[in-house]
Amino acid sequence: MTGAANPEYAIDVQRLNKHFGSKHVVKDVSLRVRRGEIFGFLGPNGSGKTTTIRMMCGLLKPDSGSGTCLGHDILRDSAEIKRNVGYMTQKFSFWEDLTITENLDFVARMYQLSNRKQAVQQSLEGLGLTARAHQLAGELSGGWKQRMALAACMLHGPALLLLDEPTAGVDPRARRDFWDEIQRLAAKGISVLVSTHYMDEAVRCHKLAYIASGSLLAQGSADEVIRSQNLTTWAIHGDRLSELQDELRRKEGVEQTVAFGDVLHVSGTEAGLVENAIHEAVGSSGRRVERIETGLEDVFIHLMGRSENGSGKNS
């Protein structure tokens, strides 16, 4: 039994667990999402991101745990929560032989909106779809299909959006435009839960959570998540980096080596050991070495490596 909901938080859950058969897919996850906050979920495929999101919003009942979503108990009030949530799946799930307007009108009927025509028109205008209102959904590019799906999510005026890898397979410009819309909605007080694999999207979230094998390994702002891993990172510029990478992987203190084009990032939690290993390996080869700020991508590669092979070195 949960206590009174804290109005500061759109979501406030404690120790959520979920099994599918013998597989424990979500393990003791606790977190809070403020109202008007964009909260990003990252992690490998099959890590439990979508299951966690669905449990937090009353779409899936946890085996154990408790919490509130939009002030409603996630165990008892799932129907009320669903009425105030917009859910956008990764797969385009609308009718390609209907126009944008016809698709939105159908969704509005499902929500039993009394002001259906007005809601559809406002949704078209709000997402910049008016000029394409009578275009068949099947003729739309990935970016416009995505925009139409978001319009459908917003028809009933939800206070919370669930976006499950919404920009997968969409070109960079369409992804940027989509995120501009998400930030505009958040500025109006709408809370957003989004799962993504893109680092440029992750940094646009107010808070992040990294989930692997059902466990929450890190959460907080991008800066907080980076600091929490206590990584020291160096960049090495030069040629024949793959040979150097193989050598560095065998060095004490080197926990991670990642090639980014013609630059090799080398990281570890023991700053002195990492520095010694790098200077020893580079020697007088002429390669340029510099200590850099650890980036979010360095951290998430590190977390993924930890989840796959414990605290061993990540390649």
pLDDT bracket for residue 162 (50, 70, 90): very high
Count the neighbouring beta carbons within 10 Å of the beta carbon of residue 8. 9
For residue 240, the model assigns a pLDDT of 86
Tell me which DSSP letter residue 136 carries. B
Tell me which DSSP letter residue 182 carries. H
What domains, with CATH codes, occur in the chain?
37-57+82-225 (3.40.50.300), 229-309 (3.30.70.250)
Average pLDDT of the chain, as a whole number: 90
Tokens in use for 172?
């960079």
Count the neighbouring beta carbons within 10 Å of the beta carbon of residue 71. 17
pLDDT digits (tens, 9 = 90+) for 126-159: 889 999 999 999 999 888 998 999 999 999 999 9
Least confident of 19-23, 92-96, 202-206, 249-253: 92-96
Of the candidates 262, 234, 230, which has an alpha carbon nearest to the alpha carbon of residue 248? 234
Tell me which DSSP letter residue 132 carries. G
Give me the mean pLDDT over the 161-174 stretch.
86
pLDDT above 80 for 315: no
Distances (CA, A) of 284 to 243, 257, 259, 272: 15, 20, 21, 20
Instruction: Tell me phi and psi for residue 241, to 5 degrees.
Output: -70, -25
Tokens in use for 156?
């009933």
Percent of the chain with pLDDT over 90: 70
pLDDT above 60 for 224: yes
Residue 117 to residue 102: CA distance in whole angstroms: 11
Residue 310 to residue 69: CA distance in whole angstroms: 33
For residue 19, the model assigns a pLDDT of 96
pLDDT above 70 for 1: no
Please answer whether residues 124 and 151 qualify as being in contact, where contact means their C-beta atoms are separated by less than 8 angstroms.
yes
Instruction: Describe the strand order of the beta sheet including 232-237 as a list of residue ranges.
Output: 256-260, 263-268, 232-237, 288-292
pLDDT digits (tens, 9 = 90+) for 75-132: 999 999 999 999 988 777 799 999 999 999 999 999 899 899 999 999 999 889 999 9
Of the candidates 244, 261, 242, 258, which has an alpha carbon nearest to the alpha carbon of residue 298? 258
214 sits in the region (left: phi over 0; alpha: psi -120 to 50; else beta) called left
Please answer whether residues 78 and 55 qualify as being in contact, where contact means their C-beta atoms are separated by less than 8 angstroms.
no
Helical (H) or strand (E) element with 303: helix 296-309
Please answer whether residues 71 and 23 qualify as being in contact, where contact means their C-beta atoms are separated by less than 8 angstroms.
no
Residue 36 to residue 196: CA distance in whole angstroms: 19
pLDDT digits (tens, 9 = 90+) for 21-52: 999 999 999 999 999 999 999 988 888 998 99
Give residues with Cβ within 8 angstroms of 75, minimum separation 6: 61, 62, 66
pLDDT bracket for residue 4 (50, 70, 90): low
pLDDT bracket for residue 311 (50, 70, 90): very low
For residue 5, the model assigns a pLDDT of 66
For residue 309, the model assigns a pLDDT of 62
pLDDT bracket for residue 169 (50, 70, 90): confident
- The SS3 of residue 229 is coil
Please answer whether residues 85 and 158 qualify as being in contact, where contact means their C-beta atoms are separated by less than 8 angstroms.
yes
pTM attached to this predicted model: 0.86
Q: Which amino acid is at 111?
A: Y
- The SS3 of residue 24 is strand
Count the neighbouring beta carbons within 10 Å of the beta carbon of residue 123. 24
- The SS3 of residue 237 is strand
For residue 312, the model assigns a pLDDT of 43
- H-type alpha helices, 12-126: 49-56, 78-82, 100-110, 116-126
